[in-house]
Every structure is written in structure tokens, then in C-alpha cells.
């Protein structure tokens, strides 16, 4: 018979696991629970697994507790350890027969949880044991398909070229849109193409004013072509090249647009979306002057050795690459914060940079990334160009320790404050004038 204590335990496990997925700020709560001695009995396995307590887990398993014991929400010890980044426990549980694809009440497997919190080591371990993520990248959701007769590719105007293929301006049902063609060397590989389509299926679900809107994939074509909204002003790279250095208010507004788009990606559920290739070329501007981030997630697919993907040379990804990515270490969301800092640095330094000034533009991007990764070198921050608060922000964002970098949520708050101060100053100077 279930005792009141059992019920309490279940409710607490529910609240703890729910919090652990959606809040991740539950350690104090767990401590309170532990103090109340409510974790005696079989649920202690779940508690020890979530806390990374290997001895505790071994003790419970030694007592004969089922490795696949699940709580009220069908969350197992493997779910909790994967969610909390307890690699050793994940390995131990798998050795002891934990079901890698146990599905909880919300349809999440341990891999869904590990991906949500970017525990990449754990993702690899789970994947090597056959783990799948039915909620996310492994979902069967298909891309919205657009009949190719609705788009006349013969009337297309070439507007750009990237690592994957060319970009054309085309008309789809009377509206100007961008058509991105993927090189046949990439698209002819079935695995790569399937992965690409999965990423596109994920992209099509996203809706945010600072994210380029995905529209669909053209069907019945021998090439892989997809449509996105068309942003008339082109990329931030082109804008900086034409306009040079921006005034402080515009620079902060640009930084905020990028940070808001990135924050949306990083807070995406069930798993965060890491851009991995955030550069001024992947930030586009519409006619209203709003910046939008594009091409997130796609880079990861084509970086496999067998695909032959090369980062776009002089202006490409090395220039904005976080040290841990260059060193091929495991990495998380904060790699995008690092790239963001380098973009904001350029936005502020615009005209000096494009006149071949101190921004290292002439330097080989790979060497630059090497120096950042191994010599901790960072761009120069002259006080005349960078006001103290921006200097501090950049230094925090390109901190060598990824854990010390702020989140985009924090960056937004910080930039909004700077924006308020700048607006007041601008307003006061108007009055004086």
C-alpha cells in the first residue's frame, strides 16, 4: 500500500524533476528535501543520480533497487543524471542496464535532457548506446514543402554566395524571397541531406523578430533549395563595409537585436539551439533596419570530416571562433557569446577596421583563432572607441573561461541599461542644442 510518505516523495520528485527541466535552479530545493529525509527508500537512487553521488547510486543498486525505477512522471535515474550533467553516473547506470531510451511523461528520453542542457559528453555516450531524442533532432517532423512551379528559378537574381551554395532573390507567389541552394557535393550525400532537412524542420518552427523566417523547401528539384524571407539590406558585413563605424546608439541597437535573436535560440525547448557560426555574414538587415540572425545549426551538419566542408576563408568562421571550438574541446552555448563579442567589437570599430586598422583584419583568420586559443590574445579596446561599459561587456563575453561568459539574457538586460543611458544623453544634448 502507498503511504503518505510515498506520495509526498512522488510529488517532490515530480516538482524536482519538472524544475530540473525547466528551471535548473532546484539544488536548494533538493537540499531542503534531503534534510527532510524524504529520500529514503527506492527514490534515493533518483536523488543520488541527480546529485552525482556515485557511492550513493552504487549502494542503492547494491540493495537491489531497479536501475530503471521511474518516478510519477516516468523519469528514471538516467534522465536525472543526463539532465544534471553527471557523466560518471550516466556511464554507471548504462553499465548496470539502464534503458537508454526510456520515455518520460513528456515524451523525453535521457538524450532529450542531455541535449537540452548541452551536456555534450553525455550526448555522445547516450548516442553510442543507441540513444535517440524523439523530441528534437531525431524527430520525424518534416519540412514544409513548396511546389517548385511556384518559384521561377530562371528569373532568379544572384545575391550572394556562401559555403553551402548560392543565394538568389526570387519571387514566390508574387513575394520577393531568398532561395538558398545547397551544393550538390553536400546535398548528394543522403545522410547529410537528411540531417539538413531535420535542421530545416527545426528552423521552420522558430518565430522571432530577430530570427530570419524560414519558409520551406522546394520539392521536385534535383538540387536542395530552400526559401527564407528576403532581407533587402543584406548582411551586417556588407553594412559595416559600406557605412563604417556606427554611432553608439545604433551600435547598441544592433547588439541588442543580435542578442535577442540569440537568446531565443539558446532558450529554445526542448533543447537549446547553438548557432556555432555567428558572424556578421550570418546577421541580415531588413528595410526597417532590424537585424536578424540566420543559418544557425546548419554549420554543425557540414563539419563532419567526410563532407569536405571548409569554413569560408578570409571572412569566415575562424575569425569569430571561440577558443574551445578551435581547440576541439567540448563546448556549449557560450561559444556564441564569444562570437557575439567579436561582432560587437567590429560594429563599434567599423571604419577603422575596414581601413585595415588595429582589428587584425589583414591577419590570417586561422592564425588569429590559434592565437586566441593558445595565447589568450584578444582584440585591442581603445578607450576612445569603447566606452567603459561596452569594454567590460566585451571582456566578459570573450572571457577565456566559457563559464564566466554571461548569458544572452544577461547581455540583453545590460545593453538595455546602456541604451537607456545613451537615449537620455542624446535627448539632453538635443535640449541643449
180 is in an annotated binding site: yes
Residue whose CB is less far from ligand ATP, 300 or 399: 300
Q: What's the CA gap between 78 and 86, in Å, rounded?
A: 9
- The secondary structure element, H or E, covering residue 83 is helix 77-84
Q: Taking every pair of C-alpha atoms in the chain, what is the biggest distance, in angstroms?
A: 81
Residue whose CB is less far from ligand ATP, 218 or 418: 218
Q: What is the CA radius of gyration of the chain?
A: 24
DSSP bridge pairs for 161: 166
Instruction: Report, in Å, the least distance between residue 162 CB and ligand ATP.
Output: 2
The three cell numbers of residue 220 are 521536385
Q: Is 104 a catalytic residue?
A: no
Phi, psi of 416 (to 5 degrees): -60, -40
- Residue 35 near residue 45, CB atoms below 8 Å: no
352-370 per-residue burial string, b: 16 or more CB within 10 A, e: under 16: bbbeebebbbeeebeebbb
Chain position carrying cell 526542448: 270
Instruction: Report, in Å, the least distance between residue 248 CB and ligand ATP.
Output: 25
Residue whose CB is less far from ligand ATP, 266 or 281: 281
Whether residue 338 is preceded by a cis peptide bond, meaning omega within 30 degrees of 0, is: no
CA 307 from centroid of its chain's CA atoms: 22
Residue whose CB is less far from ligand ATP, 43 or 226: 226
- The secondary structure element, H or E, covering residue 214 is strand 214-219
Vertex 358 angle, CA 236 and 334, to 5°: 55
Nearest partner of 164 among 314, 298, 336, 279, judged by Cα: 298
Q: What's the CA gap between 302 and 397, in Å, rounded?
A: 27
DSSP bridge pairs for 225: 181
Instruction: Report, in Å, the least distance between residue 252 CB and ligand ATP.
Output: 23
Strands 214-219 and 145-147: parallel
- How many of the other CB atoms lie within 10 Å of CB of 163? 19
Strands 224-229 and 214-219: antiparallel
- The helices-and-strands tally (H runs, E runs) of the chain is 18, 8
Residue whose CB is less far from ligand ATP, 263 or 312: 312
Instruction: Report, in Å, the least distance between residue 183 CB and ligand ATP.
Output: 10
Residue whose CB is less far from ligand ATP, 47 or 320: 320
Instruction: Report, in Å, the least distance between residue 314 CB and ligand ATP.
Output: 11
Residue whose CB is less far from ligand ATP, 309 or 386: 309
Instruction: Report, in Å, the least distance between residue 69 CB and ligand ATP.
Output: 46
Which residues contact ligand ATP by CB under 6 A?
A: 159-164, 167, 178, 212, 228, 230-231, 234-235, 237-238, 281-282, 284, 295, 312
3-class DSSP state for residue 145? strand
Q: Tell me which of 71, 257, 277, 295 is the catalytic residue.
A: 277
Phi, psi of 381 (to 5 degrees): -125, 75
Instruction: Report, in Å, the least distance between residue 315 CB and ligand ATP.
Output: 7
- Residue 115 near residue 136, CB atoms below 8 Å: yes
Active-site positions read: 277
Amino acid at each position: 500500500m502507498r503511504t503518505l510518505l510515498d506520495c509526498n516523495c512522488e510529488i517532490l520528485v515530480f516538482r524536482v524533476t519538472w524544475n530540473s527541466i525547466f528551471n535548473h535552479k532546484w539544488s536548494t530545493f533538493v537540499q531542503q528535501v534531503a534534510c527532510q529525509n524524504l529520500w529514503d527508500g527506492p527514490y534515493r537512487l533518483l536523488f543520488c543520480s541527480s546529485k552525482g553521488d556515485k557511492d550513493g547510486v552504487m549502494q542503492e543498486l547494491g540493495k537491489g533497487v531497479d536501475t530503471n525505477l521511474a518516478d510519477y512522471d516516468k523519469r528514471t535515474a538516467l534522465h536525472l543524471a543526463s539532465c544534471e550533467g553527471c557523466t560518471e553516473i550516466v556511464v554507471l547506470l548504462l553499465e548496470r542496464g539502464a534503458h537508454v531510451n526510456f520515455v518520460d511523461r513528456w515524451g523525453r528520453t535521457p538524450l532529450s535532457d542531455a541535449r537540452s542542457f548541452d551536456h555534450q559528453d553525455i550526448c555522445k555516450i547516450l548516442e553510442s548506446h543507441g540513444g535517440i531524442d524523439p523530441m528534437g533532432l531525431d524527430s520525424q517532423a518534416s519540412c514544409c514543402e513548396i511546389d517548385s512551379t511556384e518559384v521561377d528559378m530562371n528569373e532568379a537574381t544572384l545575391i550572394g554566395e556562401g559555403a553551402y551554395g548560392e543565394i538568389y532573390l526570387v519571387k514566390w507567389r508574387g513575394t520577393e524571397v531568398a532561395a538558398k541552394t545547397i551544393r550538390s557535393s553536400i546535398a548528394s550525400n543522403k545522410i547529410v541531406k537528411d540531417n539538413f532537412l531535420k535542421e530545416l524542420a527545426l528552423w521552420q518552427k522558430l518565430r522571432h523578430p530577430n530570427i530570419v523566417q524560414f519558409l520551406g523547401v522546394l520539392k521536385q528539384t534535383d538540387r536542395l533549395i530552400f526559401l527564407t524571407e528576403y532581407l533587402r539590406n543584406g548582411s551586417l558585413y556588407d553594412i559595416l563595409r559600406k557605412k563604417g563605424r556606427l554611432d553608439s546608439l545604433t551600435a547598441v541597437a544592433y547588439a541588442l537585436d543580435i542578442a535577442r535573436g540569440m537568446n531565443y535560440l539558446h532558450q529554445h525547448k526542448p533543447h537549446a539551439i547553438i548557432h556555432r557560426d555567428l558572424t556578421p555574414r550570418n546577421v541580415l538587415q531588413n528595410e526597417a533596419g532590424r537585424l536578424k540572425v540566420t543559418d544557425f545549426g546548419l554549420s554543425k551538419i557540414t563539419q563532419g570530416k567526410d563532407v569536405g566542408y571548409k569554413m569560408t576563408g578570409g571572412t569566415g568562421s575562424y575569425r569569430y571562433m571561440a577558443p574551445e571550438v578551435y581547440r576541439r574541446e567540448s563546448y556549449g552555448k557560450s561559444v556564441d557569446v564569444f562570437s557575439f563579442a567579436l561582432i560587437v567589437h567590429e560594429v563599434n570599430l567599423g571604419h577603422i577596421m575596414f581601413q585595415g586598422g588595429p582589428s587584425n583584419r589583414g591577419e590570417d583568420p586561422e592564425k588569429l583563432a590559434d592565437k586566441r586559443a593558445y595565447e589568450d590574445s584578444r582584440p585591442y579596446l581603445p578607450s576612445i572607441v569603447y566606452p567603459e561599459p561596452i569594454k567590460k561587456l566585451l571582456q566578459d563575453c570573450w572571457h577565456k573561461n566559457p563559464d564566466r561568459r554571461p548569458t544572452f539574457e544577461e547581455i540583453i538586460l545590460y545593453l538595455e541599461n546602456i541604451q537607456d543611458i545613451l537615449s537620455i544623453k542624446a535627448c539632453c544634448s538635443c535640449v541643449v542644442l
